[in-house]
Structure 1
């Protein structure tokens, strides 16, 4: 599929500098293709009975707030939208989604009928990486659409 054929691009971010480099690259690509760019940040709902929340609290301790609740995710996608626009995107749609990162990205790709998913090769060298695992690997393996893995680390 030629690059110009991409109409809707989804990019994931966890707020790390590495993942924001992928967002900027996705913004440049979306701008060049005149494509719609959907920026996704997943978060865990703050429910005491949720196993993922308990696991986040066990693994991250006082830093668990970074992946729990919508406010950090909304701040992340706002910042990411600025980076995407700086990269060249004009039609930008930031969204914060409840769920695990892999499931959230795949669900948004399907819902938005995206034809490209962009992810950094290591958006998880932040504190969240200890909890979330290898999102790039899982997404690449499970995606039904093209995946662009951006080399975001030195």
Structure 2
């Protein structure tokens, strides 16, 4: 039996890969009449990890950009039941936690396309989401 994705969460960041993930979600949502949740994570902790206190304006700009990204994503999903949210935290955990909170049965994220060497050094949000998630994850290249 084909699994029907009633609730789809897309981790979004406004990037080209994020927009491709959004396009894939749009197709799936139309096919399965899914509710879509678009979430962008503001990773404030990474700023503090530098050892310097970031200016409040930098954090405010990150939140403002994230809100604008979410508004743009919602506008691009016309005809689809969609909700958007901006949350704070470590991106992979924040995405999987949000998916659990809303009962998503599919998570869609864009691939950053890091080289193997960079992925080993830096890791990637998509890889970590795949590892942490309790539901299927679609990584869009």
Q: TM-score range by the shorter chain?
A: 0.7 to 0.9
TM score, norm. by length of structure 1: 0.73
RMSD between superposed Cα atoms in Å:
3.1
Aligned to 1:127: none
Q: Name the CA distance, whole Å, in 2 between partners of 1:16 and 1:67.
A: 19
Aligned to 1:35: 34
**Among candidates 62, 72, 76, match of residue 79 of structure 1:** 72
Q: Name the CA distance, whole Å, in 2 between partners of 1:84 and 1:92.
A: 7
Deviation string 1:51-84 (CA, Å, 9 cap, x unpaired) is: 53223697xx99x948964211111111111233
Query: Please, which runs of 5 or more residues in structure 2 have no aligned partner?
Result: 115-121
**Among candidates 95, 106, 112, match of residue 102 of structure 2:** 112
What pairs with 1:1-150 in structure 2 (closer than 5 Å)? 2-3=2-3, 5-45=4-44, 51-55=45-49, 65=58, 69-85=62-78, 90-122=80-112, 133-150=123-140
2:92 partner SS: helix
Cα distance 1:57–1:41, how it changes in 2: closer, same or farther (>3 A)?
farther
TM score, norm. by length of structure 2: 0.80
1:123 Cα offset (Å): 7.3
Q: Name the CA distance, whole Å, in 2 between partners of 1:134 and 1:98.
A: 17
List 4+ stretches of structure 1 deviating above 6 A.
none
Aligned residues: 134
